[in-house]
Amino acid sequence: MATKAKSAAKPRLGPKKLIELYRSMLRIRRVEETLTEVFSAGEIPGFLHVCLGQEAAPAAVCSQLKVADYVGTTHRGHGHALAKGVDLKRFMAELLGRSDGFCLGRSGSMHLADASRGVLGANGIVGAGIPIAAGAALAAAKKYPGRVAVAFFGDGATSQGAFYETLNMASLWKLPLILVCENNGWAEFTPQQVHMPGEDVVDKAAPFGVATASVPNDVLQIYQAAGQALKRARAGGGPTLLEVKCDRWHGHYVGDAQKYRGSEAVETAMAEDCLASFEAQLKKDKVLTKAQANKIDKQIQAEIAEALEFARSSPPPQAEALMEGLYV
Amino acid sequence: MSDNAVKEVRYIWAINQALSEEMERDEDVILLGEDVGAPGGAFGASRGLFEVFGPERVMDTPISESAFMGLAAGAAACGLRPVVEIMFMDFMTVCMDAVVNQAAKMRYMFGNQYTLPLVIRTPAGAGLAAGPQHSQSLEAWFAHVPGLKVVMPATPADAKGLLKSAIRDDNPVLVVEHKALHAMKGPIPDGEHLVPIGQAQVLREGDDVTLVSAGRMVHQALKAAEELAGEGLGLEVIDLRSIQPWDKETVFASVAKTHRLVIAQEAVKAFGFGAEVAATVAEEIMDELDAPIGRVGAPFVPVPFGLEGAYLPGSGQIAQAARQAAEGGF
C-alpha cells in the first residue's frame, strides 16, 4: 500500500454534516458489497471494479460539490457517482445493463455517466478522464464562473502522459480543477514500487506549479484538504492535486484472487478501514449512537434492495434501440 | 455587389473566414491548438483571430495533442464548441484515445446524454515534400469509427461551407484539409455559405464512366476527365466532399447511368474510402456494373520525402483506370 501521509488538519463540522459523511461512506460500502454478491451470482455481465476500502475520498470530496459541479471518474467509479448524488435505482439498472440505466444499458459499470448530476462519465481508459475533466473545468471557467470540475483517478493513471499534460495546461490556464489521486498503491495488478519511483504522487506536480496536498485515508482530513482546494478553484486560484493515501481491498476487479499480493497484505489492507475508524470516532465523540448507526444501515439496505428490485424488473434494451442516438 | 456575387479567395482564407464568422456568430466557439494564437496557425488558418477574439477564445496550447484533445471533448460535452487544430494529420496519432475512445463514443455510450460539438481541423496529404510523418492521408481510420463525421473539402468554397457546417454540428466532425490546396484560389459565394455534410457534388457530367474522389484528388480527376474528353470519353466526376457519411445516393445514381466506376484517393489504396465505396456498389447495385470497378490510390509504403513524384497518384493513373473501366467487361 501507499505510505502514510502526515496527519493534516481536520475541519470543525457539526453533527449533521458528520452523519451525512458517515451515511455517504456506508452507502458506498453497502452498495459495493451488494454489487460484489450480485456480480458473483452472475447477474452483472462483464467486469466489475469496486472501491471497497476507498469510500472516504468520494464522500469527503463530493459532499462539498454542488449538483452542477463536474466529476470525472474511473473504472473504479461507483463511489464517486453515488457520492455525487446519482439516483441509485437508475445506477443499478445501468450496472445490470437495463434500459432504465442512465446510459440506456450501454455503459455498464465502467462507463457510467449521469449528466444531470455532473457525473461526466467513468472511463475504461486509465487516465483518460483527467483531460476530459479539465475540459469541463474550461467550460466552467468560461460559461459558469464558480463552478468546478473534479477528476478522480488512481496512482496507476499518473504514469499516463495525459496526466502531466493536463497538470501543465491546468496550471497555465488556472483551471478550476481538482485532481484527486486515490493512491491505493496499485496499477491494476502491478505494485507501486514497480510502476513508479517514489511513493508520493504529489511530488509529480512539483514542476507544474500546482498546489498540492497529501492526506491519509481519513474522511475528515480529506474533507479539509478538498475544501481548501475547492475554495481555491472557485476563487479562480487554479488547480490542486490532492493525494489520498489509501488501499485497495478487493484486487483489480471482483473475482481477482490477488495471488500476486498474498493474503497477509490483503488482511493488512482490510485492517485499515476508513469507515470503521470514522464510525468509532463518531461514537467516541457521541455524535453517533449504535442505534442510530443501525437505523442508517437499515435505511441504506432497504434503499439498495428497492433499487436492485427496480433494476431487475427494468427491461433489457431492445434491439431496435441499437442504432439510436449515435449522431444528434 | 449583388447577392449572388462571388469572390476569388484562397482555400486557407476560406477557412479563416469560416472560423471568423462562426466565432462572431456564437461566443461558445473557441479555437484550440498549437500556434493558433498570435502566430495565426502554422498554415495561417487563424491569422488575425487572436487580435479580434483574444486569448480567451483563441487558445495556444502546449504540444500536448493527447490532453488538449481530451480537454476539447470534455469542453464540448459541457457547452463549448471547440475547434481544434491538429497541425498535421499525422499528429492525430498522438491523440487517438481522445478522439476514438472518448469524443466519438461519449454520446452513444452515455445513452445520448451529451452532444459533442467538437471540430477537428487537420491538414493532410502529400506534395509538399514534408516527409513520411507530415504527409499522410489517414481519413479512412476515422471514417471507420462510429460517432465521427469526416469531411474532405476540395475547393475554397467547400472548405468554408463544410467547416461552418461542422462548427454548427452537434457531433464530432473531422475536417481534413489538403495542405497542397491551401494556396489554391477559388470562388466563394458572397454572404452566408454553408455546405451540408454528407452531400456529394457532381462537378462534371458524363455518360461513360463515373469517377468518385475527394480532397486534392478531385482536381486530378477533373484533369483526367478533361484529357479523356479529347479521346471521346465522357467522365462524370463526383466530389464526395464527405466520406462519413458519404452520399451513396449521388454515387449510385451516377453508376446507374454510366455502369462503370473508378474511385480515386490519395491515401494508400489498401483499406481506403475507395474500398468502402467499391464494396458498397458491388454489394448493393452489382447488376448496374458493366465492368470491374477501378481503384486508384497510393502504393503501400510511407510517403517518401524524395520520391513523392513516384508515390503520388495523379491524373495519369486515373485516366488509365477510367480507360480500362470504359473498355472492360465481365
What CA–CA distance (Å, rounded) separates B208 from B105? 42
User: Residue A325: which of B69, B73, B108 has the nearest Cβ?
Assistant: B108
The owner of cell 478501514 is A273
Q: What are φ and ψ of residue A138, in 5° steps? A: -65, -45
pLDDT under 70 in chain A at which residues?
1-8
Helices (H), chain A: 15-40, 56-62, 78-83, 88-95, 129-143, 161-172, 192-195, 219-234, 263-271, 274-284, 290-313
What are A198-229's pLDDT values in tens digits?
999 999 999 999 999 999 999 999 999 999 99
Nearest chain A residue to B116, by CA: A328
Q: Looking at CA atoms only, how far is residue B65 from chain A in angstroms?
A: 9
User: Which residues make beta-bridge pairs with A151?
Assistant: A72, A179
Q: Is B51 exposed, middle or buried (0-12, 13-18, 19+ CB in 10 A)?
A: exposed
* C-alpha cell belonging to residue B48: 488575425
Say yes or no for a CB contact (<8 Å) between B108 and A106: yes
Q: What are φ and ψ of residue B194, in 5° steps? A: -120, 140
User: Residue A166: which of B59, B67, B82 has the nearest Cβ?
Assistant: B67
Nearest chain B residue to A115, by CA: B113
- A-chain residues near B101 (CB < 8 A): 124-125, 128
What are B275-304's pLDDT values in tens digits?
999 999 999 999 999 999 999 999 999 999
Give the whole-number percent of chain A exceeding pLDDT 90.
Answer: 89
* C-alpha cell belonging to residue B178: 489538403
Contact between B12 and B45 under an 8 Å Cβ cutoff? The reply is: yes
How many residues are there in chain A?
A: 328
Listing DSSP states for A56-67 in one string gives: HHHHHHHTT--T
* C-alpha cell belonging to residue A276: 470503521
Q: Looking at CA atoms only, how far is residue A293 from chain B in angstroms?
A: 36
Nearest chain B residue to A322, by CA: B108
Q: Which of A67, A70, A175, A328 has the highest number of chain B CBs within 10 A, making it the mutation to test binding with B? A: A328
User: Residue A165: which of B64, B147, B170 has the nearest Cβ?
Assistant: B64
Say yes or no for a CB contact (<8 Å) between A104 and B56: no
Say yes or no for a CB contact (<8 Å) between A161 and B80: no
Nearest chain A residue to B99, by CA: A128
Contact between B211 and B182 under an 8 Å Cβ cutoff? The reply is: no
Say yes or no for a CB contact (<8 Å) between A136 and B67: no
Task: Give buried/exposed letters for B171-202 (b at 16+ CB in 10 A, else e).
Answer: bbbbbbbbbbbbebebebeeeebebebbbbbe
Q: Which domains does chain B have, with CATH numbers?
A: 7-189 (3.40.50.970), 201-327 (3.40.50.920)
Nearest chain B residue to A164, by CA: B67
- The predicted structure's pLDDT at residue B1: 42
- The predicted structure's pLDDT at residue A263: 86
Q: What are φ and ψ of residue B254, in 5° steps? A: -70, -45
Q: Which domains does chain A have, with CATH numbers?
A: 15-273+291-314 (3.40.50.970)
- A-chain residues near B66 (CB < 8 A): 131, 161-162, 165
User: Residue A102: which of B28, B66, B111 has the nearest Cβ?
Assistant: B111
- B-chain residues near A173 (CB < 8 A): 59
Q: Which residues of B touch A (CB under 8 A)?
A: 28, 30, 56, 59, 61-62, 64, 66-80, 82, 97-98, 101-102, 106-115, 146-147, 149, 169-171
- Dihedral sign from CA coordinates of A280, A283, A284, A285: positive
- Dihedral sign from CA coordinates of B198, B199, B201, B202: positive
ipTM of the complex: 0.95
Which distant-in-sequence residues (6+ apart) come within 8 Å of A159 by Cβ?
Answer: A127, A187, A195, A196
Q: Which of B68, B101, B113, B150 has the highest number of chain A CBs within 10 A, making it the mutation to test binding with A? A: B113
- The predicted structure's pLDDT at residue A10: 82
Say yes or no for a CB contact (<8 Å) between A326 and B109: no
Listing DSSP states for A250-315 in one string gives: S-SSTT---TTT-HHHHHHHHHS-HHHHHHHHHHHTTSS-HHHHHHHHHHHHHHHHHHHHHHHHSP
Nearest chain A residue to B105, by CA: A326
* C-alpha cell belonging to residue A314: 427494468
User: Residue A325: which of B72, B112, B149 has the nearest Cβ?
Assistant: B112
What CA–CA distance (Å, rounded) separates B148 from A261? 42
Per the annotation, the verdict on B193 as an active-site residue is: no
Nearest to A74 by CA among A32, A129, A117: A129
Q: The whole model's pTM is what? A: 0.96
3-state class of A124 per DSSP? coil
- The predicted structure's pLDDT at residue B191: 87
CB atoms within 10 A of CB B306: 9
Q: Which of A142, A153, A167, A208 has the highest number of chain B CBs within 10 A, making it the mutation to test binding with B? A: A142
- The predicted structure's pLDDT at residue A1: 46
- Dihedral sign from CA coordinates of A71, A77, A83, A89: positive
Find the distance separating the first CA and the last CA of chain B, reported in whole Å.
Answer: 55
User: Residue A125: which of B69, B97, B149 has the nearest Cβ?
Assistant: B97
B29-33 and B6-10: which strand pairing?
unpaired
> What does the pLDDT profile of chain B (330 residues) look like in tens digits?
444 567 899 999 999 999 999 999 999 999 999 999 999 999 999 999 999 999 999 999 999 999 999 999 999 999 999 999 999 999 999 999 999 999 999 999 999 999 999 999 999 999 999 999 999 999 999 999 999 999 999 999 999 999 999 999 999 999 999 999 999 999 999 889 999 999 999 999 999 999 999 999 999 999 999 999 999 999 999 999 999 999 999 999 999 999 999 999 999 999 999 999 999 999 999 999 999 999 999 999 999 999 999 999 999 999 999 999 999 999
- The predicted structure's pLDDT at residue A265: 85
